[in-house]
Amino acid sequence: MVKIATRDIERFIGQPDPTVRAVVVYGPDEGLVRERSDRLARAVVADPTDPFGVVELSPALLVGAPGRLAEEAAAIAFGGGRRLVRVRGPGELATAPLEAVLKHAIGDAFILIESGNLVPRAPLRRVAENAKSAAAIPCYLDSAADLERLILSSLRDAGLTAEPDAVAHLLAHLGGDRQMSRREIEKLILFMGAEGPREVSLAAARAVVGDVSELTLEDIAYAVAEGDHAALERRLRRSLNEGVSPVQVLRAVGLHLNRLELAATALDGGASVDQAIRPLRPPLFFKRTGSFKKQLTAWSTDRLGAAREILLAAEIDCKTTGFPAAAACGRALMRLAQAARPPRS
């Protein structure tokens, strides 16, 4: 059994262990699954598009012809070198064929299987994790820290830095899919241009990464903090239908609650409401100010801390349990909206 520690995943992808002949790349972040699978393919063969050295099999084909995977694994690459056999999701359909190939050590081709999220007991994941010559690589949605590293490293490679407010904006609107995040960052880099300023401003970040989902996410956060269940349900449904990931929604609400907590802490220290909200960055949109002040009377710092724990638990559920992410997100947000109370006396 080949166990790849989280800290060793990147190193393994760049230079796979020669004893490993099959890898299952799985997880809820489809973009990261594709990215890591493509990098593994490039590490195994010189040209992943070479039809003489690479073959792609659909899961549906393996259902109708389960022996096909063994045949391709045993085939010799035309022109020499190692052969690559790729199976793109739903990879779970390749479980039995993969198990047979590993059990009987058929051929020496490298088998690369992509899949969606797999719970610990999922058969395909267990086959890969328990075999001596296979491995499983998880691809969970980027944490806030991972996403920040991606943003800053990508900008740094382009000779750019970013204002803290710009980074906060990007963190709130990226992260649902690694490849989508990369594309948005690349768009931002192009927007800055080779001759433009070297620091990304909040205005620049908003101009590039801030489509129709931005307003919906902010609307969701305000509906949660105001305890408006009807508006929350309507806006959450719209957001998810537009392709915004549940984790992005949870993080947007979390950022809003963080802003409330900063202001609430200032109130506890004796500041007036106006004094408490004045330092917030980015500044409150004037049309939101009245609602934000009302929320401050409903949420204490202790209750905001508890709300953060609920959001964190929901994000973990979205990434690890196999429970539908949209349902986990909706349940957590409805719970928080229920916790919004009338103004304290």
Query: Are 288 and 303 found together in one domain?
Result: yes
Query: Are 186 and 235 found together in one domain?
Result: no
pLDDT digit string (tens) for 61-116?
A: 888 898 999 999 998 877 677 899 999 876 778 899 999 999 888 888 999 999 88
Structure tokens at 225: 């903090």
Query: Are 148 and 87 found together in one domain?
Result: no
Residue where a domain terminates, one of 81, 104, 138: 138
Residue where a domain terminates, one of 82, 113, 138: 138
Across 48-60, average pLDDT? 89
Residue 345 in domain = no
CA distance 324 to 327: 5
Q: What percent of the chain has pLDDT over 70?
A: 94
Give which of 240, 243, 249, 239 is closest to 173, Cα–Cα: 249
Instruction: Read off the CATH number of the domain in which 186 is found.
Output: 1.10.8.60
Query: Are 158 and 277 found together in one domain?
Result: no
Domain that holds residue 35: 6-138
Q: Is the dihedral of CA 262, 265, 269, 274 positive or negative?
A: positive
Query: Are 113 and 151 found together in one domain?
Result: no
Q: Kindly state the greatest CA–CA separation across the chain.
A: 80
Residue 93 in domain = yes
Specify the pLDDT at position 15: 93
Query: Are 158 and 122 found together in one domain?
Result: no
CA distance 326 to 315: 10
Query: Are 16 and 133 found together in one domain?
Result: yes
Query: Are 43 and 80 found together in one domain?
Result: yes
Query: Are 21 and 90 found together in one domain?
Result: yes
Query: Are 186 and 290 found together in one domain?
Result: no
At residue 292, φ and ψ (nearest 5 deg) are -65, -40
Specify the pLDDT at position 215: 55
* Average pLDDT score, the chain: 86
Q: What percent of the chain has pLDDT over 90?
A: 36
Instruction: Read off the CATH number of the domain in which 85 is found.
Output: 3.40.50.300
| pTM of the full structure | 0.59
Specify the pLDDT at position 342: 56
Query: Are 161 and 229 found together in one domain?
Result: no
Specify the pLDDT at position 212: 41
pLDDT digit string (tens) for 218-271?
A: 889 999 998 888 888 888 888 887 777 888 889 889 888 888 888 888 888 888
Q: Please report which helix (H) or strand (E) contains residue 86, including its range.
A: strand 84-87
Asked whether the beta carbons of 22 and 111 are under 8 A apart, the reply is yes
Query: Are 41 and 99 found together in one domain?
Result: yes
Specify the pLDDT at position 345: 41
| Number of domains composing the chain | 3
Is the pLDDT assigned to residue 214 strictly greater than 60?
Answer: no
Instruction: Read off the CATH number of the domain in which 308 is found.
Output: 1.20.272.10
Residue 63 in domain = yes
